[in-house]
Amino acid sequence: MKTIEVYNPFCIRICSGITFIGLQAVSGCIACSKCQETGYCCMDDKVNELLKKLPSIDGVVIGSPVYYGSAAGQLTAFLDRAFQAGFWKSR
């Protein structure tokens, strides 16, 4: 992840980062329920990297190309798994 420091007029330090999920394959959820036990997805990829960073993140901005009226399939698979694992991690 590349970290970018931005200084705004209010002198508040803002750190941001960019994570590209398109550089490796992201599989869809296989409903194995491991995230219920561990709070992390059984497939070790960018989803788990995001879940580890979430406690220290104040916001997330998501961008995607639009294919056939929807976000790219890789992004929807990523978000489905992140939301499911994140839901069980927050309990």
pLDDT digits (tens, 9 = 90+) for 14-43: 677 888 888 888 899 999 989 888 889 999
Q: What is the pLDDT of residues 48-91, one digit of tens each?
A: 988 888 888 888 888 888 888 888 888 999 999 998 887 777 66
CA-based angle 45:49:23, to the nearest 5?
Answer: 50
In a domain, 73, yes or no: yes
In a domain, 68, yes or no: yes
**Within 10 A of 10 (CB to CB), how many other CB atoms are there?**
6
Is 0.85 surpassed by the pTM of this model? no
Distance CA 36, CA 72 (A): 26
Distance CA 67, CA 36 (A): 32
Domain range holding 42? Answer: 22-89
In a domain, 57, yes or no: yes
